[in-house]
Amino acid sequence: MNGASSSSMNPSMVQGICPTGWHLPSDTELQELEMFLGLSELEAVLTGNRGTDEGGHLKATGTTLWSAPNSGATNQFGFSLLPGGVREYTGIFYYVNYGAYLWCTSQYSTTRSYYHYVSYDRSDIYRGYSYKNNAMSVRCVKD
């Protein structure tokens, strides 16, 4: 976040590591994307697995980078989500090729932030929160 504080605004207004003219998405922005894909407003604010095929619409197709079966992957909107996994605070990587974890700028608590997750064997989308000292992928959004 490059020193910026938490943001739940839409747009987040947090440039972070993104280039000029781009910003990191807030939890609210990712929820808006998920509602565009088909989640209801009530579902979008829940934590845990939500929806049916919304995650599949975001995933890159095939099993070159995603582990089989890459359930429901259509990449319908050209988002081309890739399974970068997560790097825990210990320095060990987990779930590479099995899951795409996306940080957002919205803080859950002083030590945790929200993330959104899509799995190789599901087509829905998970929303949760994790310790900030873990490392996950980010997706910059054009201002």
Residue-level pLDDT at 4: 82
Label residue 5 by pLDDT band (50, 70, 90): confident
Across the chain, what does the average pLDDT equal?
96
Predicted confidence (pLDDT) at residue 53 exceeds the cutoff of 90: yes
Instruction: Say what the pTM is.
Output: 0.95
Structure tokens at 2: 């490059």
Angle 136-111-104 from CA coordinates, rounded to 5°: 40
Predicted confidence (pLDDT) at residue 1 exceeds the cutoff of 90: no
Break the chain into its structural domains and give their ranges. Answer: 47-137
Contact 81, 59 (CB under 8 A): yes
| Residue 87: count of CB within 10 angstroms of its CB | 18
Predicted confidence (pLDDT) at residue 3 exceeds the cutoff of 90: no
